[in-house]
Amino acid sequence: MQQIAPVFGSVIDRRAIADALDLEASELESELPIQMVSTGLHFVIVPIKHLRNLQLLQPNLGKADAYIKEHQIGASGSYFITRDTGDTNISLRARAIFLKGQDPATGAAAGCASVWTVKCRVARPEESEVILQGVEIKRPSKLFVKPSKGGSDALNTRVGGMPYQ
């Protein structure tokens, strides 16, 4: 699937979103922004420092949803990611947790995370990334993303996926 050109929203206050998610601010990556990104659907990209924190994550989604609405962020949900994957073949581990449950493979959010990593200089354009999602709900999936860059913006993102064996 090819996604549309990204739209980067404002950076969200780290302490405020940590509080809204019932997380400690120290659990979030301090050098990376928490930001709403859209490549069709809007997701707040929330970078978590350590894989263990991602695995144990139990955010207060009602509180987070209220924060998102109150601040008119306009996101479909939050996409929690970590670079601490424990596997050199996996670029990011992710969780898409919504009020009604978790998604084992969220292509729209993976595309948003992919262009965000290029913008933040975590990844380089034209390099394929592998995102592993769904492990915590026993439905692991690999998402393959490849952002390309034109000028100063990541303009084109391709996303595909499959169940992880």
List CB contacts of 8: < 8 A, sequence separation 6 or more. Answer: 35, 36, 37, 116, 119
Q: Regarding predicted confidence, which is higher, 156 or 90?
A: 90
Q: Regarding predicted confidence, which is higher, 19 or 87?
A: 87
3-state secondary structure of 3: strand
β-sheet bridge partners, residue 103: 96
Structural domain range at position 153: 2-163
CATH code of the domain covering residue 74 = 3.10.310.10
Confidence band of 152 (pLDDT split at 50, 70, 90): low
Look at the chain and report how many structural domains it folds into.
Answer: 1
Q: Regarding predicted confidence, which is higher, 119 or 62?
A: 119
Q: Regarding predicted confidence, which is higher, 74 or 113?
A: 113
pLDDT of residue 140: 94
Q: Maximum CA pair distance of the chain?
A: 41
Is residue 23 pLDDT above 60, yes or no?
A: yes
Mean pLDDT for the stretch of residues 100-117: 91
pLDDT of residue 143: 93
pLDDT, tens digit, 9 for 90 and up, residues 43-91: 999 999 999 999 998 887 778 778 777 777 777 788 999 999 999 999 9
Going from the C-alpha of 115 to that of each of 8, 25, 37, 59, 162, the distances in angstroms are: 9, 24, 8, 24, 20
DSSP class per residue in 18-86: HHHTT--GGGB-SSS-EEEEESSSEEEEEEBS-HHHHHH----HHHHHHHHHHTT---SEEEEEES--S
Strands 101-103 and 92-98, by their bridges, are antiparallel
Is residue 26 pLDDT above 70, yes or no?
A: yes
Mean pLDDT for the stretch of residues 87-112: 91
Confidence band of 33 (pLDDT split at 50, 70, 90): very high
pLDDT of residue 150: 66
Going from the C-alpha of 99 to that of each of 58, 59, 87, the distances in angstroms are: 12, 10, 29
Cα–Cα distance measured from residue 11 to residue 149, given in angstroms and rounded to the nearest whole number:
21
Q: Answer yes or no: are the C-beta atoms of 3 and 39 closer than 8 Å.
A: yes
**Taking all residues of the chain, what is their mean pLDDT, rounded to a whole number?**
87
| % residues pLDDT > 90 (the chain) | 47
